[in-house]
């Protein structure tokens, strides 16, 4: 198998109703993966599917050490867009939940400094462990199946030291990115408070919901404001408000649709500059992330412009 090709070569695109290759042919030919190709992978990656982005194996040498960690999709896109070296370190990527990705990277000090900037690490482990196996100065949480570890500490130096102390337990992938995975899906427990981030969302050139600004708050509650077209909001609400109620119930977030200041004419409805309507989403980081992702999936599945 060509390591530059995804494990599932073609992913069904529910919006375009066609099969689209994830990695461009020229990338596979040159054995280099561009930033655009990785963003393309993120846009199409489906639940529980993995993509090997590049081959880090070389004949006659020891396989480089890799670190596997969980990261929010918005933060991952921010890293790719701001740090030119980050996507070159990426080896394997898999979507494991709503806007949550499992990323395997070549381990470097630059990478470790980047992924610890928020004061916490969510890592995948090679073998199941118990709480007694770890002696850390950071607050730690181990999932019920023992394959996921969360470390929290506002002091990045302490967090990095704890990580390096237990590096032999951190998962690194074998050839083509395969590794044994537990049958259960693990998530960070609700009693673990992750440093909150407020994300103000808008529309980028590809009509996707993208973060424009990240800002750290003292409170554990965050708010996201989306600017959607009037037809998209109407579809999102659904008949008798059923569709938006389902999203509220599934995500646990508070979703409010702000009414327009005045009634729009048919001509104004056809102009994207006049028919924007604000949708406000409030809740914990996990609730808001899940709600925004469900909204985007609903609009993409209906082939409606955002």
Distances (CA, A) of 287 to 73, 75, 220, 242, 250: 14, 16, 12, 19, 9
What are the extents of the domains in the chain? Answer: 10-177, 197-301
| Per-residue confidence (pLDDT) for residue 34, from 0 to 100 | 75
Residue 171: is its pLDDT beyond 50? no
Q: Tell me the backbone φ, ψ of residue 251, rounded to 5 degrees.
A: -90, -25
Q: How far is CA 107 from the centre of its chain?
A: 20
pLDDT tens for each residue of 1-34: 333 333 332 222 223 323 345 565 545 445 566 7
- What tokens appear for 263 in the block? 């009634």
Residue 159: is its pLDDT beyond 70? yes
* 55-64, 227-236, 246-255: range with lowest mean pLDDT: 55-64
| Per-residue confidence (pLDDT) for residue 270, from 0 to 100 | 58
* Between residues 145 and 86, the one the model is more confident about: 86
Mean pLDDT value of segment 260-283: 68
Residue 300: is its pLDDT beyond 50? yes
* 51-55, 101-105, 110-114, 253-257: range with lowest mean pLDDT: 51-55
Please, which residues have CB within 8 angstroms of residue 173's CB and are 6 or more apart in sequence? 66, 68, 91, 92, 104, 179
SS3 content of the chain, % helix, strand, coil (to 5): 30, 30, 40
* Between residues 60 and 135, the one the model is more confident about: 135
Residue 289: is its pLDDT beyond 80? no
**CATH 3.40.50.720 assigned to 197-301:** no
pLDDT tens for each residue of 34-50: 777 787 787 777 666 77
Mean pLDDT value of segment 77-86: 79
Cβ distance 102 to 94 under 8 Å?
yes
pLDDT tens for each residue of 201-238: 333 333 333 333 333 333 357 788 888 888 888 888 88
| Per-residue confidence (pLDDT) for residue 59, from 0 to 100 | 38
| 15 burial type by CB count under 10 A (0-12 exposed, 13-18 middle, 19+ buried) | middle
Pairwise CA distance, residues 256 & 244, whole Å? 10
Residue 245's pLDDT band, with cuts at 50, 70 and 90, is very high
Cβ distance 51 to 7 under 8 Å?
yes
- Percentage of the chain beyond pLDDT 70 is 53
| Per-residue confidence (pLDDT) for residue 20, from 0 to 100 | 44
Pairwise CA distance, residues 286 & 283, whole Å? 8
Best CA proximity match to 236, nearest among 222, 251, 219, 223: 251
Please, which residues have CB within 8 angstroms of residue 55's CB and are 6 or more apart in sequence? 3, 4, 31
């Amino acid at each position: 198998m060509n390591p530059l090709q995804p494990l599932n070569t073609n992913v069904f695109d529910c919006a375009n109703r066609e099969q689209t290759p994830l990695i461009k042919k020229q990338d596979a030919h040159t054995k280099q993966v561009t930033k655009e190709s990785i963003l393309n992978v993120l846009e199409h990656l489906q639940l529980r599917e993995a993509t090997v982005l590049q081959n880090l194996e070389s004949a006659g040498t020891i396989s480089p050490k890799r670190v596997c960690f969980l990261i929010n999709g918005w933060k991952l896109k921010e890293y790719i867009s701001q740090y030119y070296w980050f996507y070159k370190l990426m080896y394997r990527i898999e979507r494991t939940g709503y806007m949550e990705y499992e990323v395997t990277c070549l381990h470097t000090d630059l990478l470790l400094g980047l992924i610890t900037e928020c004061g916490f690490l969510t890592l995948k482990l090679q073998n199941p462990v118990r709480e007694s196996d770890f002696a850390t100065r950071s607050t730690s949480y181990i999932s019920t199946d023992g394959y996921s570890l969360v470390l929290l500490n506002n002091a990045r130096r302490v967090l990095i030291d704890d990580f390096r102390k237990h590096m032999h337990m951190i998962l690194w992938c074998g050839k083509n990115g395969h590794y044994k995975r537990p049958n259960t899906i693990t998530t960070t427990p609700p009693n673990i408070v992750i440093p909150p981030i407020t994300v103000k969302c808008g529309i980028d050139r590809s009509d996707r919901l993208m973060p424009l600004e990240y800002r750290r708050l003292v409170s554990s509650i965050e708010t996201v404001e989306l600017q959607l077209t009037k037809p998209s909001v109407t579809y999102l609400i659904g008949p008798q408000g059923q569709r938006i109620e389902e999203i509220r119930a599934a995500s646990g977030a508070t979703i409010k649709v702000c009414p327009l200041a005045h009634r729009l004419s048919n001509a104004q409805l056809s102009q994207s500059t006049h028919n924007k309507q604000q949708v406000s989403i409030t809740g914990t980081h996990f609730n808001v992330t899940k709600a925004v992702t469900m909204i985007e999936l609903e609009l993409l599945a209906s082939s409606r412009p955002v």
